[in-house]
Structure 1
Amino acid sequence: MKSVRPFRTRSRRLGTTLVAGLAVLALGACTGNEKNDDDQDLGGGTTQADSGSNDEAGDKIVIGFSAPAADHGWMASITDSAKKVADQYDDVELRVASGTNDVNLQISQVETFINDKVDAIVLLPFDGAAMTPVALKAMQAGIPVINVDREFDDPNAARVTVLGDNYGMGVSAGAYICSQIGDKSDAVVAEIAGIDSLPLTQERSQGFKDALADCGQDVDNRVAADFTVEGGEEAAANLLQAAPKIDAIWNHDDDQGVGVLAAIKNAGRDEFFMVGGAGSANAMRSIQAGDSVLQATVIYPSTQAADGIKLARLLGQQKNMSDLVEVEVPRTVQLYAPVVTKDNVDQFIDTAFES
């Protein structure tokens, strides 16, 4: 039997998450909310900007963009969203390097941007440590670097860092599961992680563990996959075989969740509910339809680079985030990790990525 511990607030970590949420609201407000006729409107643009707003056309700027290869849905959306936001601004020329998982090639891409004297660089590094020296070189050349998702080793290598909240994902998933199962002493909670050697997986798992502890629960069964459909199916099959009874599952990633749901269907299991991770469109459609055990997913925004493009434009045109008192763009923007359920899915599905 599990002992039920009294609820306690993890103030430092959860406080950071709340501040991050406010930062996102400020960013969205300062860059405009005009709608266009595109299927996916990410907000902003010079076409219908009010006079005096940050979206009003300014000096033409050139932004270099580089990211890893689009080898799964989330990463494909990173680049697609960046292009889409840039297209909404008549005063932005976006130069997109070919997506690559070759660190040396990505270094050469950034060096080309430096030689071309672009106004800013938005960079999601394949390897943050390996890309740090060339990012420092760009900063020393007077080109602001906006670092997306995977941090550099040296904070001076970026003017702005845009991050998701991996720890916060785990907290959100755990808190939601707690809200559904409460202090049920015999509840069985399972976890299907991503790649265990990655810090992001470790942070997600720690946040999940910490949030579950607040309602007297813990992780009873845990397996790790590899962020792929095949890996998710294999890991889930192993989990289901090892655990004859489960009340709730958190799967870290909706791309691998395609395989996880296939394994669950093949096993004929439906006595539990599942929470996904990252926030894919197919996961949200399933939540809308109520056609599987998937009941919720936790957002890890695939629009981080799009926010990076908007911030690069502000920096290049020497503007600030107008909803803040601060006269300069902040050094760090950490995006919130909300839980998407059937009740609020309509607010998020338009910017979700396809697995």
Structure 2
Amino acid sequence: MAGHSRRSVIAGVAVAGATALVAGCSGGGEDPPAAQPLAGGGPGQNTAPGRRVVIGFSAPAADHGWLAAITNNARRQARALPDVEFKMVASGANAGAQRAALSTLIAERPDVIVVLPHDGKELNAFGVEAMRAGVPVVNLDRAFPDPAAFRLQIKGDNYGMGVAAARHIISRLRTRKVEQPVIAEIAGLDFLELTQERSRGFRDTLAAAGMSVANRRAAAFTADSGQREAAHLLQALPHLHAVWNHDDDQGVGVLAAVEAAKRGEFFMVGGAGSRQAMQTIQAGGTVLEATVTYSPSMASSAILLARLIAQDRGLADLAEFEVPRQLVLAAETVTRDNADDYLHFGF
């Protein structure tokens, strides 16, 4: 998908764009009935000021570039909305501490809570508690497994990231006419469901093309862990054709390990779409030639949609009265050819 289409998706979530039309089907060659006005109203309705609302927010500490962008995007978006009061609570060092802070927030009765949990399964009970107390929850990124724990769930397409990375690798290997490719994978934290989904999408897509992963290492979304695991992987595989690294922050360490080992016979696909990774792709000179997106712009969308939920409004460009229950962002492939289109979304 081109960068311009991504802008269209985000603009739709941010409630800009033309009014949608409902097209009817008819038989017998008759003209279709005229489109009826939508419940959502005309374009621009969502940007009109509404009643003042309080949006509570919690996300893990910004020890990673992507997490820092999540919090910064949420805060910046809230500040741009004159009818929103942004109330951020400390997430603590783990799921238990975040759960305690969020329970206190429930007692303060904000209009809606946006939360990126330390762990979706461990914080699921909070979501259920808040929803039962009449406080809608927007669950961001790390999913609550129980549908009763959230009003809206927004996340990236983790399985789709694996699919996109594998498709790029398959295409490049076929172009090079590599018959028995040696493919490696450097994942993130293995206990997270999102990591498992990324690996599954990667594995499934390779298998459909008759390919497989020769060696897989799990890092921890940090540059240090990426360098360590990449060094082990390079020692285990004296020759490689392609590597998928799940996360561009840990990719900084991966590239350092590649340089230290003086390896360059393979190409690499990154993950998440950091600005630094995109600029590295543009500059050339390293094994990194593409990255697949997992944009922190989802935090901005979470605030925009939380506001509409609290104000009992829907999306102006949709026929339905209410904001949808789920939003999954597309995983898109960024290369040297289209990096300029995506730099704006890099963290």
Structure 2's unaligned 5+ residue stretches are 18-41
**1:309/1:112 CA distance change after superposition, 3 Å:** same
Matched, 1:94 2:86: yes
Cα distance in 2 for residues equivalent to 1:178 and 1:350: 28
The answer to whether the 8 A contact 1:27-1:321 is kept is no
Deviation at 1:29, TM superposition (A): 1.6
Quick one: distance in 1 between partners of 2:279 and 2:9?
29
CA change 1:156–1:168 in 2 (3 A) is same
* Equivalent residue in structure 1 for 2:278, among 258, 269, 284: 284
CA distance in 2 between partners of 1:296 and 1:264 (Å): 16
Does 1:236 pair with 2:219? Answer: no
In structure 2, relative to structure 1, the CA distance for the partners of 1:68 and 1:212 (3 Å cut) is: same
Q: Alignment partner for residue 330 of structure 1, among 313, 324, 333? A: 324
> 1:346 and 2:340 equivalent?
yes
Q: Is the Cα–Cα contact under 8 Å of residues 173 and 208 in structure 1 kept in the other structure?
A: yes
Task: Give matches, 1:1-355, under 5 Å.
Answer: 25=8, 28-33=11-16, 52-182=44-174, 184-353=178-347
CA-CA distance at 1:328 after TM superposition: 1.3
CA deviations on 1:15-41 (whole Å, 9 max, x unpaired) are xxx9xxx9995563252459xxxxxxx
| CA deviation map 1:167-193 (0-9, x unaligned) | 111000000111111163122211111
Q: In 1, distance between residues paired with 2:170 and 2:43?
A: 48
Matches of 1:30 and 1:234, distance apart in 2: 39
Deviations 1:240-295 (A, max 9, x none): 11212111110111111111000000111111111001111111110111131100
Check whether the contact 2:157–2:331 (CA below 8 A) recurs between aligned residues: yes
Aligned residues of 2:16 and 2:44 also touching (Cα < 8 A) = no
Q: Distance in 2 between matches of 1:195 and 1:136?
A: 26
How far, CA to CA, are the matches of 1:244 and 1:309 in structure 2? Answer: 48
Q: Deviations over 1:329-350 (max 9, x none)?
A: 1111111110111111112111
User: Once the 2 structures are TM-superposed, how far is the Cα of residue 52 of structure 1 from its aligned partner?
Assistant: 4.5
Whole-angstrom distance in 2 between the partners of 1:32 and 1:304: 14
**Largest Rg, 1 or 2:** 2
Could you tell me which amino acid in structure 1 is paired with residue 136 of structure 2? P
Residue aligned with 1:305, SS: helix
Q: State, as a whole percentage, how many aligned pairs show the same letter.
A: 49
Q: What is aligned with 2:34?
A: none
SS at match of 1:319: coil
How far apart are the structure 2 equivalents of 1:33 and 1:52?
Answer: 6
Distance 1:253 1:284 in 2: 13
Secondary structure, aligned partner of 2:185: strand
Q: CA–CA distance in 1 between the matches of 2:291 and 2:211?
A: 20
Residue type at the aligned position of 1:62: V
Q: 1:280 to 1:317 in 2, by over 3 A?
A: same
The answer to whether the 8 A contact 1:61-1:316 is kept is yes
Q: CA RMSD in A?
A: 2.1
Contact residue 142 and residue 194 of structure 2 kept, 8 A: no
Name the CA shift for 1:27/1:269 in 2 (closer, same or farther; >3 Å). Answer: closer
Please report how far the alpha carbon of residue 211 of structure 1 lies from its aligned counterpart in structure 2 after TM superposition: 1.4
Count of aligned positions: 318
What is the TM-score of this pair, normalised by structure 2? Answer: 0.86
CA–CA distance in structure 1, aligned partners of residues 95 and 207 of structure 2: 40
Q: Work out whether residues 184 and 215 of structure 2, in 8 Å CA contact, stay in contact via their aligned partners in 1.
A: yes
Shift of 1:119: 0.8
Inter-CA distance 181–56: structure 2 relative to 1 (3 Å threshold): same
- Give the secondary-structure state (helix, strand or coil) at the position aligned to 1:78: helix
Equivalent position SS for 1:291? coil
The one-letter code sitting in structure 2 at the alignment partner of 1:72 is H
**What do the CA deviations read for 1:82-113 (whole angstroms, capped 9, x no partner)?**
01111111111111112423333322322232
